[in-house]
Amino acid sequence: MSSPETRLSELGITLPEPMAAVANYVPFVITGSQLFVSGQVSVGPDGLVKGRLGENMDLEAGQAAARLCAINLISQCKAAVGDLSKIKRVVKLGGFVNAHPDFEALPQVINGCSDLMVDVFGDAGRHARSAVASPVLPLGVAVEVDGVFEIG
């Protein structure tokens, strides 16, 4: 498999500058061989992606928002370790979806993040995961995802 940076290039993805924390926390913490990345929200070149799934956003828009979260997670990983080849495994993702109470396709929304992790990191991108609904997320965003990565 190609290096993660090569895969990003092949996918036409340029990593943005990592987002600064918006409250009293740090964007990532390294302890031992684990990298914990704080929740990354659905923000892209056009700004915040806001909305509520099942109310004013459909599944495809939610998946695109989750993909932005993946790009932002990878950007934080690069800031933390420099070379993305140091990411040995995507261990776990925690996905939060701003969803109407009747919207049940939460796992499919977070697939927008999970699929990109596998596209970029190959088998090492396969991970444990949760996907939960929330009545509101920070800044009104549609999706937020945090992650745990093994580094080496």
Residue corresponding to tokens 């995802």:
145
Give the CA distances from residue 19 to residues 23, 33, 50, 128, 136, in Å, rounded to whole numbers and listed in that order: 12, 23, 17, 24, 20
Q: Collapse the DSSP code of 144 into the 3-class scheme (helix H, G, I; strand E, B; otherwise coil) and give the result.
A: strand
Tens of pLDDT along 3-52?
Answer: 999 999 999 999 999 999 989 999 999 999 999 999 999 999 999 999 99
Taking the model in full, what pTM does it have?
Answer: 0.97
Tens of pLDDT along 60-117?
Answer: 999 999 999 999 999 999 999 999 999 999 999 999 999 999 999 999 999 999 999 9
Rg (CA), the chain: 14
Domains of the chain (ranges, CATH numbers): 36-151 (3.30.1330.40)
Quote the strand ranges of 12-106, DSSP E: 28-31, 34-41, 43-44, 47-48, 87-98
